[in-house]
A and B are shown apart, each in its own frame.
Chain A
Amino acid sequence: MATPIRVNRIGLEPQIYKGGKTTLCAGCGHNAISERIIDAFYEMGVDPRQVIKLSGIGCSSKSPAYFLGGSHGFNAVHGRMPSVGTGAMLANKKLIAIGVSGDGDTGAIGIGQFVHLMRRNLPIIYIIEDNGCYGLTKGQFSPTADLGSKLKTGVVNDLPPIDTCALAVELGATFVARSFSGDKKQLLSLLKAALAHRGTVMLDVISPCVTFNDHEGSTKSYAYVKDHDDPLEEVSFVPFFEDITVDYEPGSTQEVTMHDGSRLYLRKLEEQYDPTDKISALKRLHETARRGEFATGLIYIEPDRDDFLELLNLIDEPLATLPLEKVRPGKEALDEIMESLR
């Protein structure tokens, strides 16, 4: 008798969610993130044919080739993935968009498009694979490199870092989280919650560069992050299609109802932390940064705000496939316009 095949709720095998063989360095944090993406999309039963993968340029941006091989993907130009993703979602609002960027791709060349993506609250999962350096061009500092961190050549970074999470909260993203590539459980929970959120998910994943930035002087090395990680809360995610079981003590959990009806439970490490409060989210980010620590977990969530596509009052069907009679007004329309010009 053949071994029973493991499938998810839409009957697809895990294999379907895999991508091409990675060309990144062995041990690169980005590969772990790709694996969590595969797990999250499989476990949530997302149809890969409805997914679009987007990226800019850099090590991070190569990674969409390494997950969800059955999904369409677009490796855009450096720092400009948000606009390509925006266009694609305008064309077909039924798609599920996941974009992978890096700290240089987002914080330097792409900061303009990043800012406006956050403002628009476009439905997209935007992941920054954040290693504080430019890996593909051999290790130069990126704008998220911490003050005082040191290149292998001994050059010290004397500019303050951009905190992409604080920026995203400030700009209007409705789901802002930070995690660490090596934290399987937290990252998977956040990705699953991201899939249930309608609006912009900004997920900054610290992902140490094993080749150029994993040394003692760097604040984004494995050793440094493991010692300075400050989990905000333990995240447990219950999708709407599974039985909801609660094993959290009342008073120690916070429930967040997601756009699709599923619920996110946050085990709070601190009673006063409230991820729906923008001001406390920003305060927390600044406080942990001052201590040289990273706050991880779900930092901010605003589940009810209209996303960009809702604001545009788009017809239910994808614009891309509307039939001619819906997109070409009749002759009487042209006649009316002509008459108004005579």
Chain B
Amino acid sequence: MSPTDLAVQEQQAAANRQRVVNDFSIQIATVNGSGSQTANMVLLRSILLMGVPVSGKNMFPSNIAGLPTWYTIRTSKRGYVGRKKEVDFLVAMNAETAKEDVLTLDPGAAVVYDAPLKLDTLRNDLTFYPVPFDKLVAPVCPDAKLRRLVRNMIYDGILANLLGIDMALMEKALGKQLGKKGKAVILNQGALKAGWDYADANFTKQDPYVIEPMNETAGKILIEGNAAAAIGCMLAGVTVVAWYPITPSSSLCESLISYMKKYRIDKETGKATFAIVQAEDEIASLGMVIGASWAGARSMTATAGPGISLMGEFAGLAYYAEAPAVIFDVQRVGPSTGLPTRTAQGDLLQAAFLSHGDTKHIMIIPASVEECYEMAQQAFDLAELFQTPIFVMMDLDLGMNHWMSDGFKYPDKPINRGKVLTDDVLKKIGEWGRYKDVDGDGIAYRTIPGDGMPAYFARGSGHNAKGQYSERPDDYVENMDRLARKFETARQHVPKPVIQNNPKAKIGFIGYGTSHYATEESRDQLREETKVETSYFRLRAYPFTEELAAFVDAHERIYVIEQNRDAQLLQLMKLELTPERVSKLRSVLHYNGLPIDARSVTDDVLAQEGFEVAKKTTARMSAGSAGGE
């Protein structure tokens, strides 16, 4: 039997398998800077418009143009939006990575590829669809300079044909993506159609993957976490923003700039009700935020790990002088420059104790775009209520990827500006001191420059309850104890965990942020594959709330699932929980730069539980961009 016969047999076997409907992943391998983002977004949105739950993740290099990029789209009829470890359908557009991309696929996967790459000779257990992209693009795009961009839209047309995506919806998605750019819309429509026609004339469907209409996405939006947070900041009434560009947080401030320019210009005067300043570095960014909040503005910055490191000194000042600040940390992979375009949850310990001395900070941790929006608003209230920095711990996966969500709800409460001294309060409390704890909750009344109330001298040096310079031991202790009391009060005000208690479960999972999606899916896998039941505690804030100890008590073993090497949340929990509770804690850790996936969690938990686990191939992208700098 010749190898060709074998290939034919394999292909037929694949075709005979059961169809896989709305439950597979597509990976598009391109070169960054080639304009594939439009084609990828159109594909993503067209599946959403089909009513099928979908998510998209961009695995891109720290580079402007010319290095490999992978975009992964996952469709899931059950609504899973975490990363799927296996790639089912590959679109290989990048000559540089195509060979390795194909070699690491699981058997049965399908590959659409640029015909000159001749990938079909590499394996005989996959379905191959060669497409002569350059030949197809020439007639639909007379302008040779635009062909590189337009040829990407051809694979959308090919996929629409092969997967069964409604072309009308794809064109609708294209219109949404390109808006009023008339010429671009026409060119890309031509390319879409050219792809569809080519597939229709030349391919017989041999792979099992199809999209069929569902009704699961009515009214859903597609948005990145950074843009969602920006909308939240705008509705929270932010007035001063200082920032320094850094991946993956830049798009938070850039989205905010565009929203504010549209919705926060005063209608009567045409003037801005906000100031957004690109500072000289992250140190100055936080300095401006602190100066602004001290002078009464709602102020914020957004950064990533390296910026957080630089902000250390100012974070300590804000903690000790008690100036509100909202700091978004869109986490990326460290240490140092690390992997700037990959995701992690590695800044937790750093943010919790940022700065020297006994300093600790409130962190809130959104897991969804909706929570980015809501917690952005909460962050400003908490910052002013507690007169201290609030760290909103996002990550690259959440911040820069597009997520499906219900529309956001308009805030139903006014903003809370916290304890600011007024004449009435002054009458009630008698004597005012800037750091005097009149209510017993550790929070003192502040005055704002220019408001006509008594002045004080804010400082990072030792001070007494009146705000006067002091090196007296009793003044120092009294003030530090009050700050600790304030932190205790915060436990009652930070977002509570989301708990799913399963009375049959001996195992409890604790997850946070984007680890949520893999955790949720892993719980289903464990139940369905091995009948292992679990409870789930999604942590949303530090300091911890009282529910944490109770959750640990209710289970025999606790798996803390996080995306860092050093089990940072677990370490933080060790500082607060009793030794008996700590002895129940175990870790599931994922830190290769790719978003955590359910299979990895499930396999890790099963191994720790003593099950036999088959070794799977390791994550494929980690090797993919080696050497690019």
Contact = CB atoms under 8 A, between A and B. Distances in A.
Interface of A: 48-50, 52-54, 64-65, 69-77, 80, 82-92, 94-95, 112-113, 115-116, 309, 312-316, 318-322, 324, 326-329, 331, 333-335, 337-338, 341-342
B297 interface: yes
Contacts of A75: 457-461
A318 B235 contact: no
Interface in B71-113: none
B511 to A, nearest CB: 27
Contacts of B219: 342
Interface of B: 219-223, 231, 234-240, 242, 259, 263-264, 266, 269, 271-275, 277, 279-281, 283-299, 313-314, 317, 321, 407-408, 410-411, 414-415, 447-452, 455-461, 469
B449 A84 contact: no
A226 to B, nearest CB: 34
A64 B449 CA distance: 15
A76 to B, nearest CB: 7
A83 B237 contact: no
B288 A116 contact: no
A337 B256 CA distance: 12
Contacts of B237: 322, 324, 327-328
B221 A91 contact: no
A113 B288 CA distance: 11
B450 A50 contact: yes
Closest A-B pairs by Cβ, 4 of them: A87-B291, A83-B287, A320-B296, A91-B297
B290 A73 contact: no
A326 B234 contact: no
- Give the most central of A312, A313, A315: most B CB within 10 Å: A315
Given A87-B240, A91-B292, A315 B269 contact: yes
B273 A319 contact: yes
Contacts of A71: 449, 455
Contacts of B455: 48-49, 69-73
A53 to B, nearest CB: 8
Contact of A318 (B223, B231, B450): B450
Contacts of A88: 291-292, 294-295, 449
A113 B239 CA distance: 22
Contact of A84 (B259, B275, B294, B450): B294
Contacts of B259: 337
A83 B231 contact: no
Contacts of B223: 341
Nearest to A72: B449
Contacts of A313: 271-272
B163 to A, nearest CB: 22
A334 B408 contact: yes
A52 B295 contact: yes
Contacts of B448: 72, 320
5 contacts: A69-B455, A83-B285, A91-B293, A315-B269, A342-B219
Contacts of A73: 455-458
A90 B240 contact: yes
